[in-house]
Amino acid sequence: MNRFEIIYMDKDVLAVEKPAWLLSVPGRGADKQDSLTTRVQKTYPNAAVVHRLDWATSGIMLFGLNKNSQRELNFQFSQRQIHKTYTALVSGHLGGQGEIEVPMRCDWENRPRQMVDFIQGKASTTHWKAWPQRLQSTMPIPFSRVKLHPVTGRSHQLRIHMAFLGHPIIGDRLYASAAAVQASPQRMCLHATQICFIQIASGKQVCVNSSSPF
């Protein structure tokens, strides 16, 4: 299957919806060549990915459609001018809002897992805000819906941070409990719902949105 859904497009930037369980870029081996980037480049050969989503995460990904836009988007990311919002379902009852700021690094003996390490880890920050309303659901365990705003972009950052807070993401096969995984065995409940960037041609901020599938 090579189809993909375009959410936004101008002469410089393409925003595409990545489904869960699809690689952002090709991996090693013949069985890991299907990816969102591979699919996009079959239609737009000059498109280049400027950031990634985890294999298990769904939602918005940006592509630069030419060399200049790729450089500009990379610069915006480096200067933290691009703002991302994710929606997640997390286990347990969580209310209010806050900031998680803990250092992270790769768990080399258990890759691809990441881990909190206050000595060797790199700084990482996430802002979170719980939705105030109660949710009607047949899910077998207590859960909460949260909005997540990563300030930094470490691998598995949101997944690690919510687990560190004591509320791992439902369906997260690496960091959640067995009960939280079984509550959503078909997917991890983490979706990139909004990304805001500076439009290269106009210099104005553009926000692209994607509805949460859960």
Q: What is the pLDDT, as a whole number, of residue 211?
A: 96
Q: Give residues with Cβ within 8 angstroms of 138, minimum separation 6.
A: none
- Alpha carbons 189 and 208: distance in angstroms, whole number: 20
Contacts of 98 (CB under 8 A, 6+ apart): 127, 128
Low-confidence residues in the chain, pLDDT < 50? none
Per annotation, catalytic residue among 12, 54, 107, 117: 54
Name the class of domain 5-81+195-209: alpha beta
This prediction's pTM: 0.94
Q: Does domain 85-190 have CATH number 3.30.2350.10?
A: yes
Measured distance CA(58)–CA(212) in Å, rounded: 9
In this predicted structure, what is the pLDDT of residue 143? 93
Q: What is the pLDDT of residue 132?
A: 78
Do 5-81+195-209 and 85-190 share a fold? yes
The domain limits of the chain are 5-81+195-209, 85-190
In the prediction, which pLDDT does 1 show? 55
What do you get for the CA distance between the two ends of the chain, in Å?
23
DSSP H helical ranges for the chain: 36-43, 67-78, 157-164, 178-182
Backbone dihedral angles phi then psi of residue 158, each to the nearest 5 degrees = -65, -35
* Residue-wise pLDDT tens digits, 114-154: 999 999 999 999 999 998 766 566 788 999 999 999 999 99
172 has catalytic annotation: no
